[in-house]
């Protein structure tokens, strides 16, 4: 498969531009690369004071970085307090993610637990950390989920399950939080051309056993979907457009093709949908 290059202009701002702020604070978790990076930069360019929380710092001069490991509860809580400095968070965007290509029958429980620490519990901890102050002033929360939470990513059961859990979390919290003028959205990108493709934990043939060939086919198909998909800058633009709405939707699907597939699943019988899903991953 071919890696798709991101063509967004990344011209560095001047020192004077760095000082422009609308007084609002945005936390972007996982803002050092991919969708998170472009979301952080776009928010900074619209006047937010943006803090990135991740193990790797964001290299954009408009974005302040605080080191954090989302899989470690105390590290994350400490980082959020450092980022807030006693202020209420106006916008929280959770972009951290981990993917695991492996047959479920042979997937180590420790790998599944780590995936959920990154994809699910990290989001839970961030939301709970910002809510006390956000309930006083209102705010917006975006969880970067995946179309894979609705249409399964074959040979990546834990990933799909974690993203489905994020979608349900957003739906339930929309009921709890709206009285406090807090709006939460689960954003569903489809395949997106980022380094995430190449950071995926893929089990070896020996670890996959009789599923080895299937894992290879499914992983290759997924990589082609991702690297032939949307640019992260375009996904970030849609995320920011959601944040600009007075009352954002609870579930938002990025891109017209992804919207088509998302709504198609509501029309097709389950068996037909799963058959087509298997074909997408060459299984």
Catalytic positions, please?
159
CB 98 within 8 A of CB 115: yes
Cα distances (angstroms) measured from residue 200 to each of 97, 156, 182, 250: 10, 10, 33, 28
Q: What does the block give as tokens for 97?
A: 């993610």
């Amino acid at each position: 498969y071919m890696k798709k290059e991101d063509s967004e202009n990344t011209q560095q701002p001047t020192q004077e531009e760095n000082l422009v702020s609308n007084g609002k604070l945005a936390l972007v978790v996982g803002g050092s690369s991919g969708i998170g990076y472009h979301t952080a930069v776009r928010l900074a360019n619209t006047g937010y004071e943006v803090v990135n929380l991740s193990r790797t710092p964001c290299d954009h001069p408009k974005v302040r970085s605080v080191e954090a490991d989302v899989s470690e509860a105390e590290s994350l809580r400490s980082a959020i307090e450092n980022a807030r400095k006693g202020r209420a968070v106006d916008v929280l965007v959770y972009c951290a993610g981990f993917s695991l290509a492996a047959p479920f029958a042979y997937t180590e429980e420790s790998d599944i637990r780590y995936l959920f620490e990154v994809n699910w519990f990290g989001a839970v901890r961030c939301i709970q950390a910002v809510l006390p102050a956000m309930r006083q002033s209102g705010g917006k929360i975006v969880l970067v989920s995946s179309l894979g939470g609705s249409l399964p990513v074959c040979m990546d059961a834990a990933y799909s399950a974690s993203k489905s859990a994020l979608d349900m979390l957003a739906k339930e919290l929309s009921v709890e939080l709206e009285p406090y003028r807090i709006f939460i959205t689960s954003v569903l990108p489809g395949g997106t051309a980022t380094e995430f493709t190449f950071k995926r934990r893929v089990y070896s043939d020996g670890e996959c056993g009789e599923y080895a060939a299937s894992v290879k086919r499914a992983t290759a198909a997924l990589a082609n979907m991702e690297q032939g998909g949307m640019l992260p800058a375009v996904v970030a633009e849609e995320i920011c457009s959601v944040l600009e709405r007075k009352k954002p939707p609870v579930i938002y699907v990025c891109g017209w093709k992804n919207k088509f597939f998302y709504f198609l699943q509501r029309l097709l019988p389950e068996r037909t949908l799963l058959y087509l899903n298997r074909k997408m991953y060459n299984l």
